[in-house]
Amino acid sequence: MKNIYRPLFSVIPFLGLLVALPVIALAQGVGLGTRAGQEIGGSINSYTYDEPGYMDLKAVKVGVDYAMTRTFPGTWPRNSETSFFTGELRFANGDAKYTNTTGTTGDGLSDWYWEARALFGVDIDMNGYVLAPFMGVGYRYLYNDLRALSNGYRRESRYVSIPIGVTLRTRFSDQSQLHTTVEYVHLVNGRQDALLSDIGGSRQDVTLNQKNGNGLRLKIIQQFPTWSIGPTFTYWSLAASDVGGTPAVFEPKNNTVEVGVSFKHRF
């Protein structure tokens, strides 16, 4: 149980700042709406993938991020409620360290992922700050290679999800804003391709389905006119997969935690 709840303690500083944000709103909502344009940047994250009672993978991942936003003006009688579309792409890579409950370890293991998201939302002027609720669809592909270990094999994970969240925008200073985003992610479908033929012998590759899971994303970004920076937190919790293959195998329940910092340039 301790492994399941440990990530929640990382959320406390984010939630504390979120509660305080309305107090530090320094101006009216004018100028706090979603801005059209493009952003490119990077990130550095501490990454932990954990299968409680089985194994874990830990890495420092360096990411490349791109986002494109388009806005659409509101119409009467809600002229101030601009709607928007944001497309996001992200790639993150970092060699991982493997440890299991029997004491087996391995370093320098290939572990990377990419994801794409399409988000739709609307700005709501709250006379001092702006709320921007949104929802959309996301796709995430994860690859890791454990062939350097005894009986190790490659694994490919594919996840389709629905993100639902809200961004709170406040004036932080004359030259910057504070954008705080809280997001719930619902897993629609997960697929695991375990390439067990890497082990040799009579082992066959197997595809497993993961139908239940959810996630949480938090980020607090200080936005300047042409660049931004801030901490991010991502948490995934997935239930065990179905059973497949001969001999029968399954993907255990697992959770993933990423904590890091993001920095982007707007153009």
Per-residue pLDDT of the chain (267 residues; tens, 9 = 90+): 344 445 445 554 554 554 444 444 333 445 888 999 999 999 999 999 999 999 999 999 999 999 999 999 876 556 667 899 999 999 999 999 999 998 889 999 999 999 999 999 999 988 889 999 999 999 999 999 999 998 899 999 999 999 999 999 999 988 999 999 999 999 999 999 999 999 988 889 999 999 999 999 999 999 999 999 999 999 999 999 999 988 889 999 999 999 999 999 999
| 144-159 pLDDT per residue, tens | 999 999 889 999 999 9
pLDDT at position 80 = 66
Cα 174 to Cα 177, 230, 267: the distances in Å are 8, 18, 20
Domain carrying residue 96: 2-266
What pLDDT does 267 receive?
92
* CATH number, position 241: 2.40.128.100
Q: How far apart are CA 32 and CA 28, in angstroms?
A: 8
Q: How far apart are CA 137 and CA 118, in angstroms?
A: 6
Alpha carbon dihedral 32, 34, 36, 39, in 10-degree steps, equals 90
Tokens read off for 218:
């938090």
> How far is Cα of residue 235 from the mean position of the Cα atoms in its chain?
7
**Tokens describing residue 127:** 């006379």
Beta bridge partners of 246: none
Phi and psi at residue 130, in whole multiples of 5°?
-120, 135
pTM: 0.85
What token pair was written down for 188?
Answer: 């629609």
Number of domains within the chain: 1
pLDDT computed for residue 23 by the predictor? 40
* Distant-in-sequence, close-in-space partners of 132: CB < 8 Å, separation ≥ 6: 34, 84, 121, 122, 123, 124, 166, 167, 168, 169
Paired with 93 in beta bridges are 62, 112
Q: Tell the burial category of 186 from Cβ atoms under 10 Å away from its Cβ (0-12, 13-18, 19+).
A: middle
Distance, in Å, from the CA atom of 219 to the CA atom of 83, rounded to the nearest integer, reads: 21
Q: How far apart are CA 161 and CA 237, in angstroms?
A: 13
pLDDT tens digits, 72-106: 987 655 666 789 999 999 999 999 999 999 888 99
The confidence score (pLDDT) of residue 27 equals: 37
CB 133 within 8 A of CB 148: no
Burial of 210 (0-12, 13-18, 19+ CB in 10 A): buried
pLDDT of residue 201: 83
Handedness of CA 239, 7, 140, 85 (dihedral sign): positive
